[in-house]
């Protein structure tokens, strides 16, 4: 009888000292864009000191405040305005992150969200 292989996060590998490389989709799935001719993955480097903030951000990745702006062609373009920080706080509480540590993680998640917003609205 064979054992089922352990489930691993296929997108994560740590190939250098303390580094985590993570594969992410090029664009959010809800953007409605056809990526069939593009490489669907990009590789990002996440420092170990930012790993917890990255995990919290990833858990809350669908918590953007988005408005849709009409275009001249009759379609709509998403404009990512802000990240729902209440969801970040709730997730940190659910994960049992101490209040002392949560201040740093919260600040780091805000920094990640600011960077992501500039890319998403690019």
End-to-end Cα spacing for the chain: 52
State the angle between helix axes of 85-94 and 99-120 in degrees (0 to 180), rounded to the nearest 10: 140
27/5 Cα distance (integer angstroms): 30
12/55 Cα distance (integer angstroms): 12
- The domain locations on the chain are 12-120
pLDDT in tens, 37-91: 445 566 778 889 999 999 999 999 999 999 999 999 889 999 999 999 999 999 9
Residue 112 · residue 58 · CB < 8 Å: no
pLDDT at 53: 94
pLDDT at 45: 80
Residue 56 · residue 103 · CB < 8 Å: no
């Amino acid at each position: 009888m064979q054992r089922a292989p352990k489930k691993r996060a296929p997108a994560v590998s740590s190939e250098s000292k303390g580094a985590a490389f993570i594969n992410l989709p090029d664009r959010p799935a809800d953007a409605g864009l056809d990526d069939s001719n593009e490489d669907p993955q990009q590789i990002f480097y996440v420092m170990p000191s930012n790993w917890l903030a990255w995990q919290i951000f990833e858990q809350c990745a669908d918590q953007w405040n988005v408005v849709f702006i009409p275009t001249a062609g009759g379609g709509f373009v998403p404009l990512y305005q802000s990240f729902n920080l209440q969801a970040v706080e709730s997730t940190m509480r659910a994960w049992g992150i101490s209040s002392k540590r949560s201040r740093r993680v919260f600040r780091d998640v805000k920094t990640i969200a600011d960077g992501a917003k500039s890319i998403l609205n690019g």
